[in-house]
Amino acid sequence: MSATATSTPTAPATPLKIAFIIGSSREGRFAPVVANWFTARAAEYGGIELDIIDIADLELPTTHPDWGTPRTPELAALAARVVAADGFVVLTPEYNHSFPASLKTFIDLHHTEWEAKAVGFVSYGGVGGGLRAVEQLRLIFTELHCTSVREIVSFHNGWDHFSEGGKAYEVDGAIGAAKVMLDQLTWWAGALRTARASHPYQT
37-91 per-position pLDDT tens digit = 999 999 999 999 999 999 999 998 877 766 667 788 999 999 999 999 999 999 9
Q: What is the DSSP string of 117-158?
A: -EEEEEEEESTTTTHHHHHHHHHHHHHTT-EE-S--EEEETG
pLDDT of residue 164: 74
Helices (H), the chain: 31-45, 73-84, 101-108, 131-143, 172-198
Q: Once rounded to an integer, what is the mean pLDDT over residues 97-112?
A: 94
For position 61, what pLDDT does the model report?
86
Phi then psi dihedrals of residue 58, to 5 deg: -100, 150
Whether 200 has a pLDDT exceeding 60, the answer reads: yes
Phi, psi torsion values for 127, nearest 5 degrees:
-65, -25
pTM, 2 dp = 0.89
pLDDT (average), residues 161-169: 73
According to the model, what pLDDT value does residue 170 have? 65
Across 6-20, 134-148, 156-170, the highest mean pLDDT is recorded for: 134-148
CA pair distance 201, 180, nearest whole angstrom: 27
Give dist(CA 163, CA 179) in Å, integer: 22
- The predicted structure's pLDDT at residue 160: 84
pLDDT at 1 over 60: no
Q: Which residues of 89-105 are buried (b: 16+ CB within 10 A; e: fewer)?
A: bbbbbbeeebbbebbeb
